[in-house]
Amino acid sequence: MRYSGFKVLVQGLTGNRGWAPVWRTPDPRPAYDIVIIGGGGHGLSTAFYLAKTHGLRNIAVLEKGYLGGGNIGRNTTIVRADYSLPGNSEFYSHSLKLWEGLERELNFNVMHSQRGVIRLFHSDGQRDHYVFAGNAIANRGDGAELLDQDGLRRLVPYLDYDNARFPILGGLLHRRGGTARHDAVAWGYARGADGLGVDLVQNCEVTGIDIRNGAVTGVQTGRGPIRARKVAIVVAGRSSQVAAMAGLRLPIESHVLQAFVTEGLKPVVNHVISFGMGHFYISQSDKGGLVFGGDLDFYASYAQRGNLARQEQVMEAAMTLMPMIGKARVLRSWGGIMDMTPDGSPIIDKTPVDGLFLNAGWCYGGFKAVPASGEAFAHLIATGRPHPVARRFRLDRFRSGHLIDEEGAGSQHNLH
Amino acid sequence: MRIKCPLCGERDLREFTYRGAALPRPAPDAPDEAWDAYLHLRDNPAGPTRDLWHHRAGCSAWLVVRRDTATHEIFGVELATRSRAVRA
Ligand SMILES: Cc1cc2nc3c(=O)[nH]c(=O)nc-3n(C[C@H](O)[C@H](O)[C@H](O)COP(=O)(O)OP(=O)(O)OC[C@H]3O[C@@H](n4cnc5c(N)ncnc54)[C@H](O)[C@@H]3O)c2cc1C
Ligand SMILES: [Zn+2]
């Protein structure tokens, strides 16, 4: 069914009785050309572009839980293209262009809102860094404006500008950045892929990867073996476990990242704002909740909940930046498992096993990447060659020294 | 999570800094595969693991902590200087 304003109107007037399920729930078939492990944002977008761009049809996405139950439905939904380093810069720039056409492409409202992302600076050194970063973003054509304190005050008057410890001197405004509805992105890609004949198989955990003579032949699952000529691993926080099924040891350590949401409030925070002292970022959802987050919990963890020490630190950062937030009540907090690489940048590559492909290491920035990651991974799987915007996301770059360390934090998984 | 430092006793998590998996350091002239594995590659288990922590706001000792990454249960803590986990 194609969605349109007219359909919404007709359905609204007739009791919404005419909506059909958005995708099928097929049982897995014994064999496919391509099996994608993981039904998160990246797995679903990969399936969609394999079918749409490359015309492939005999594809399954195997998801151990339900579609969109992983990080794709747990993130703080920030979408931006404000990276500086070659590798990241062209990739996220391309991804933002795909975002801008995504709702038309999918015929689905993902609530993409280009409300502007503002990164604050608090010292002269940080201002210099943002001049550099802003130039890199502007040179790509993605738009960056340096605001002094007066300019910033006009946009966001409610910050604590004269904080004794962290005075706010200005900010870097990236107008094309913003947010999107995370679940809708998963659902939109799922619906698109299903419509093109991809089998989306839920409650189907992959428990083994079959390899013969150095080439992949299929997977073992909780719902029986499935043969496949190509297998793609796209499981975010679980990348190490699934790759280990093929005898691979990855440059990844899994960490928890928490997020928080307050009760619904009237519109007050109209941008995405990120604090420059310590890691803290905030936006307001369309339901009115203030959505915010901070740093990782910092130690390797698979617990999908966070620790109190980090919660305290995030609340302190919030109060330092905008004291008015103290009146809002926090409704919920949760955590997701991040696949952290030693340089903070992702991997989209072949593996040493023939026919086995890897898409991993999104750290905590993989939501904005969903469209370009799917497109680039589909290109690699279909043609055997890396997509031009993702060719630096190599699995062997750590050994060869071609790191893409955006923050210059050093080769340690939890520092990015 | 609370960590029992062998020198200071049980202390709050906030006193410690996490470094990463406790692995033996390769010899300076070891081949680059060995250094790549040491610096980058991880078993990253969802279960029992051993990692290095620094008692930054305490005695400043480096510790090897045996714990579970899924439950956050801690099985044991020893001084890194006494640990076999980080010895080649
Ligand atoms: C709190 C938080 C805030 C974040 N904020 C942002 C942000 O503001 N902006 C941004 O760009 N990014 C953000 N991210 C990062 C982003 O959400 C992730 O990088 C991205 O969603 C990961 O890719 P994915 O969607 O494919 O992962 P997931 O949705 O986790 O998909 C992986 C899927 O694989 C499945 N799976 C695992 N093992 C198996 C198996 N053996 N068999 C079958 N299926 C399996 C899982 O069940 C899961 O559904 C945030 C993440 C978190 C947790
Ligand atoms: Zn101590």
Buried b (16+ CB within 10 A) or exposed e, B5-30: beeeeebebebbebbbbbbeebeeee
> Nearest CA to A414 among B80, B57, B51?
B51
Q: What is the pLDDT of residue A327?
A: 94
The whole-angstrom separation of Cα A57 and Cα A161 is 55
The whole-angstrom separation of Cα A317 and Cα A307 is 16
Give the max Cα distance, chain B: 40
Where do the structural domains in chain A lie, given as residue ranges?
Answer: 25-77+182-251+343-415, 113-177+254-340
- Please report the ipTM that was assigned to this predicted complex: 0.96
Contact status of A399 with chain B (Cβ, < 8 Å): yes
DSSP A40: S
Cβ neighbourhood burial of B76 (10 Å; 0-12, 13-18, 19+) = exposed
Q: What is the pLDDT of residue B85?
A: 87
For chain B, how many residues are written? 88
Is A388 within 8 Å of A368 (Cβ atoms)? no
Is A391 within 8 Å of A63 (Cβ atoms)? no
- Phi, psi (deg, nearest 5) at residue A208: -160, 155
Where do the structural domains in chain B lie, given as residue ranges?
Answer: 2-28+45-82
Distances (CA, A) of A15 to A4, A7, A192, A296: 17, 12, 26, 45
Residues 6 or more apart whose CB falls under 8 angstroms from that of A237 comprise A70, A71, A254, A302, A336, A337, A338, A339
The whole-angstrom separation of Cα A345 and Cα A111 is 26
Instruction: Please write the tens of the pLDDT for every residue from B46-59.
Output: 999 999 999 999 99
Cβ-Cβ contacts under 8 Å, A299 against chain B: 18, 51, 53
Instruction: Please write the tens of the pLDDT for every residue from A151-168.
Output: 999 999 999 999 999 999
Q: Which of A67, A75, A204, A256 to mutate to test the pocket of ligand 1 (most atoms within 8 A of CB)?
A: A75
CATH of A113-177+254-340, one of 1.10.760.10, 3.30.9.10, 3.40.190.10, 3.40.30.10: 3.30.9.10
Instruction: Please write the tens of the pLDDT for every residue from A53-80.
Output: 999 999 999 999 999 999 999 999 999 9
> Nearest CA to A372 among A109, A75, A32, A49?
A49
Q: Whose CA is nearest to atom 9 of ligand 1?
A: A78
Instruction: Please write the tens of the pLDDT for every residue from A125-149.
Output: 999 999 999 999 999 999 999 999 9
Kindly state the percentage of chain A with pLDDT values over 90.
Answer: 98
Band the pLDDT of B87: cuts 50, 70, 90. Answer: confident
Put simply, the answer to whether A414 touches B18 (Cβ < 8 Å) is yes
Band the pLDDT of A6: cuts 50, 70, 90. Answer: very high
Q: What is the pLDDT of residue A248?
A: 98
Two domains, one topology: A25-77+182-251+343-415 and A113-177+254-340 = no
Q: Is the pLDDT of residue A83 over 90?
A: yes
The whole-angstrom separation of Cα B44 and Cα A237 is 10
A25-77+182-251+343-415 belongs to which homologous superfamily?
A: FAD/NAD(P)-binding domain (3.50.50.60)
The whole-angstrom separation of Cα A264 and Cα B82 is 53
The whole-angstrom separation of Cα B4 and Cα B11 is 6
Q: Where are the beta strands (DSSP E) in A151-252?
A: 170-174, 178-179, 199-201, 206-212, 215-221, 226-233
Q: Where are the beta strands (DSSP E) in A115-214?
A: 117-121, 145-148, 170-174, 178-179, 199-201, 206-212
Is A182 within 8 Å of A206 (Cβ atoms)? no
Q: Which of A297, A301, A398 to mutate to test the interface with B (most CBs of B within 10 A)?
A: A301
* Mean pLDDT over each residue of chain A, to the nearest integer: 97
Is A44 within 8 Å of A193 (Cβ atoms)? yes
The whole-angstrom separation of Cα A142 and Cα A136 is 9
Give the SS3 label for residue A254: strand
Beta pairing class for A31-37 and A59-62: parallel
Q: Which of A45, A64, A67, A71 to mutate to test the pocket of ligand 1 (most atoms within 8 A of CB)?
A: A71
Question: Which residue of B lies nearest to A255 if distances are taken between CA atoms?
Answer: B69
Instruction: Give me the mean pLDDT over the A262-266 stretch.
Output: 97
Band the pLDDT of A209: cuts 50, 70, 90. Answer: very high
Look at the pTM and tell me if it is higher than 0.90. yes
Band the pLDDT of A11: cuts 50, 70, 90. Answer: very high
C-alpha dihedral (B36, A253, A133, A392), degrees to nearest 10: 50
Helices A124-140 and A88-100: crossing angle, nearest 10°?
A: 60
Architecture of the domain made up of B2-28+45-82: 2-Layer Sandwich (3.30)
Instruction: Give me the mean pLDDT over the A220-238 stretch.
Output: 98
Using the Cα atoms of residue A293, residue A297, residue A301 and residue A306 in order, give the sign of their dihedral.
negative
